Amino acid sequence: MTTRRWVVLGSLMLLLGVMLVPTGKSWYDQRQRLGELNEQVAAQEANVEDLERQRDLWGTEEYVEAQARKRLKFVKPGERTYTVIDPEADSPEVDPETGAVTAPATQPWYEQVASSVAAADDPTSAQ
């Protein structure tokens, strides 16, 4: 083979590579996206199954009654309900005259409101 044929063959291979690389990258990106979408569909199908199970549970009288007892603390006539209070919990200071809970005034009122809102947003925080 002559040098001219090698140059032409090399040029054709380079042109072929330039044309196929973007197509290959596009194919690879689409396969990745398809995998992500399949995972999302599987997660949504699991969520739908869970929601259907909950719907079926809410259709039974026993489950509704159990949830009313648990969440709303409902009882049937003649039954007694008990609320257990944690004996180790710190009891807040109560003003004997007004019955209002008193807090130490170490912060300005606006900072107390802000910390109260922050505590209400995060029930796991210890204060």
What pLDDT is stored for residue 49 in this prediction?
A: 95
Position 126 pLDDT exceeds 60: no
Residue 110 burial (10 A CB sphere; 0-12, 13-18, 19+):
exposed
State both tokens at 57: 């549970």
- 93 backbone dihedrals φ, ψ, rounded to 5°: -75, 135
- Whole-number pLDDT of residue 37: 97
- Which pLDDT value is given to residue 83? 79
Per-residue pLDDT, 121:
76
Q: What local confidence, expressed as pLDDT, does residue 105 receive?
A: 62
- Give the separation between CA 8 and CA 91, rounded to whole angstroms: 90
3-state secondary structure of 77: coil
HEC string of the chain equals CCHHHHHHHHHHHHHHHHHHHHHHHHHHHHHHHHHHHHHHHHHHHHHHHHHHHHHHHHCCHHHHHHHHHHHHCCCCCCCCCCCCCCCCCCCCEECCCCCCEECCCCCCHHHHHHHHHHHHHCCCCCC
pLDDT of residue 87: 72
The pLDDT value given to residue 71: 86
Confidence at residue 99, expressed as pLDDT on a 0 to 100 scale = 62
pLDDT single digits (tens) 88-119 = 767 667 666 666 666 666 777 788 888 888 87
Residues 15-61: tens digit of each pLDDT: 998 888 888 899 999 999 999 999 999 999 999 999 999 999 989 99
Helix (H, G, I), strand (E, B) or coil at 104: coil
Asked if 64 and 58 count as a contact pair (C-beta separation under 8 A), the reply is: yes
pLDDT recorded at residue 103: 62
